[in-house]
Copies of this chain bind each other. A is one copy, B any other.
Amino acid sequence: ADSAAIQRATLRQAQLTKPAGALGDLEALSVRLAGVFGTEFPAPQGGAVLVAAGDHGVAQEGVSAYPPEVTPAMVMNFLADTPAGPGGAAVNALARTVGARVYVMDAGVNAALPDHPRLHQCAVRRGTRNLRVEAAMTPDEAQALILAGAALARQAIEDGADLIVPGEMGIGNTTPAAVVTARLLGLDPAEVTGRGTGVDDARLAHKVAVVREALHRSPATGPLQVLAEFGGYEIAAMLGMMLETAAQRRVIVLDGFVEGSAALLGVTLAPALREFLFPAGHCAERGHAAQLAHLGLKPMFDLGLRLGEGSGGVLALPLLRAAAATLREMRTFEEAGVPV
């Protein structure tokens, strides 16, 4: 981030026509946006949600409340033509309300998906292997999806987006996210394994045991090894989206727990990525709070969301635009002739 712009934005924010600090967290957000965009007058233009979908071998362990068939069905839902516009899922409906475009990627769904003009076909395999008993993917597969995610982010940026929301869909994917988070943060599986789409107590205990077995199986600690051993294709894709977005000095809006596991991989690979991360909301999935604590970043709201898809990230876009507008459009006490 641009430290000179951050300094100028900090000075300007203190002179705007309001009591010092009265805009709360919007003030710090506006200064961080100044750092990303390299100006004390940040003017984000477009928002984009990049939804990567993938299936998971570990789903056969019964770690989810839903069957894997939901993943391809939801991809078709993201793409469907509806009276309201493209897509009938939450992320589509929410994105329309904030003028954000939704990009959909098959990162490795366990089904043959039909060609569709809005579907980016990037799968190298129909779902990962079962991370409980073997590496989820090969290093080459992981790299292919990182590159595919980066390419999709590049396209969204070329299309005009500068607020990028990586999102995901994949039955079972809170399990790889939990394993990745536990390993990178050195936490016990029970501290980072949650109910996902809503498993009961018995299934949650089983899920924790699966996460524990996976961690025992491999001592990998390097981020790319952790990704291949324990991750998912959509997690690899989101990592690529984040690396590319940061490299192009745009904003990464960080949604939920699965997205957070990609962010942890990202800051382990490239610590400066943190300056481009803007957490949207608290996520109800256990383990998300530990991710944010490690990143040292505060989310913008607490609406109890636990859907994924990038849906929470979409809700953060208006708040980021608002924060930027304070620096750009509010007058200073001097400009406005208001006595201090």
Residues of chain A whose beta carbon lies under 8 Å from any beta carbon of chain B: 16-26, 65-67, 69-70, 73-74, 76-77, 80, 82, 84-85, 88-90, 92-94, 96-98, 197-198, 284, 300-307, 311, 314-315, 317-319, 321-322, 325-326, 328-331, 335-340
Contacts and interface: CB of A to CB of B under 8 A. Distances in A.
A82 B317 CA distance: 24
A61 to B, nearest CB: 19
A127 B303 CA distance: 40
B336 A19 contact: no
Given A19-B65, A65-B19, A315-B319, A96 B24 contact: no
Copies of this protein, total: 2
B331 A22 contact: no
A307 B16 CA distance: 12
B307 A97 contact: no
A84 B328 contact: yes
A306 B96 CA distance: 30
**CB-CB nearest 5 A-B residue pairs:** A24-B304, A88-B331, A318-B318, A93-B329, A84-B329
Contact of A22 (B23, B77, B305): B305
Given A73-B339, A77-B338, A336-B80, A24 B305 contact: yes
Q: Give the one of A17, A19, A96, A319 with max B CB within 10 A.
A: A19
